[in-house]
Structure 1
Amino acid sequence: MPVPIDPLDLDTGTLALFVGNAGAAAVQKQLADAGFGDLRFSHGYLFQHLVDGEPTVSALAAELEMTQQGASKAVAELEKLGYCERAPDPIDARIRRVRLTARGHAAIAAARTARADLDRRLTERFGTEALAVVRSQLAELLAELGGTAAVARRAVRPPR
């Protein structure tokens, strides 16, 4: 039988990772309950580039630091699930752009609602001031570790 671990004995990065994973799992469950159970956490890395634009597969590959083949495969998966589509560029029909479908926009709205619900739940549990302190400290840790710019640009990359 494994020896129990006290979360306070974990290093900061591991504890933050586990908190993030637990929060992501709560959001995923609410998404599934809302009819988006086919979405995976990893799809978010692609979605972040479709929220405000219609990039090409090549541009997605560059932003995600992956091969064009890998990006094309990820787009094809989301296309099959009905979350995005490839459409001709309005200026140059030879260029195909990736854009969200109505289902993709609905999934983003559902994810935003799920994250807001989680924040409300945490606020009820810990209070507005305590949660604000935790959020501020996490943001400072993110800045200290060099992650703020990627978040601001919607360019968070999958872990390697």
Structure 2
Amino acid sequence: MASSDLTLLLTALAAACDAEVRRRMAEAGHPETRSVHGYVFQHLLAGPVRVTDLAGLLGMTPQGASKVAAEMERAGYVARRVDSDDQRARVIELTARGSAAIEAGRAARADVSAELLAVLDEPDAFLASLNRLSDTTGALRELLARRLRPQ
């Protein structure tokens, strides 16, 4: 089956890659991870974040961010504590298990990427084309600046 619908192809490939990465993460001892957790992990790499600030970064309500934080806390990926600057506020921070999940995700993405690129006749040309598309849309720039939000 072939298609010339770039959006359809990229969406399908992204979903397949995401599912395979999550499968490998489960094998590595992180079966609880969901796509939204990746967005939270990225915002915690620099250090603890207030739940209300996380909500704004993720484009969700404080209640929604608190729910995701509680889910991640139950899985052992983050810890919540009182903000030292404001006793009324709570911050979340990565735990050692959260850092291990990030590393497992990075390893899984690298392996999946390598396996898929090995199928191609000209992987360097393919990656160059994708990078040009990313430059045109600003997609990678937005992702790396942590401005893309979960859907």
TM-score, normalising length: structure 1: 0.84
The reply to whether residue 37 of structure 1 matches residue 31 of structure 2 is yes
Which segments of 5 or more consecutive residues in structure 1 lack a partner in the other structure?
1-5
- 1:58-88 Cα offsets, whole Å, 9 max, x none, are 1111111111111111111101111101123
In 2, Cα distance between equivalents of 1:148 and 1:124: 22
The reply to whether residue 7 of structure 1 matches residue 26 of structure 2 is no
Aligned residues: 150
SS of the equivalent of 1:48 reads: helix
In 2, Cα distance between equivalents of 1:125 and 1:15: 16
Q: Among the aligned pairs, what percent are the same residue? A: 39
In 2, Cα distance between equivalents of 1:133 and 1:69: 45
Please say if residues 48 and 155 of structure 1, whose CA atoms lie closer than 8 Å, have aligned partners that are also in contact. Answer: no
The reply to whether residue 152 of structure 1 matches residue 116 of structure 2 is no
1:117 to 111, 119, 133: 111
In 2, Cα distance between equivalents of 1:7 and 1:18: 12
RMSD, matched Cα: 1.8
In 2, Cα distance between equivalents of 1:34 and 1:155: 28
TM-score, normalising length: structure 2: 0.88
In 2, Cα distance between equivalents of 1:66 and 1:93: 22
**In the alignment, what sits opposite 1:143?**
135
**In the alignment, what sits opposite 2:82?**
88
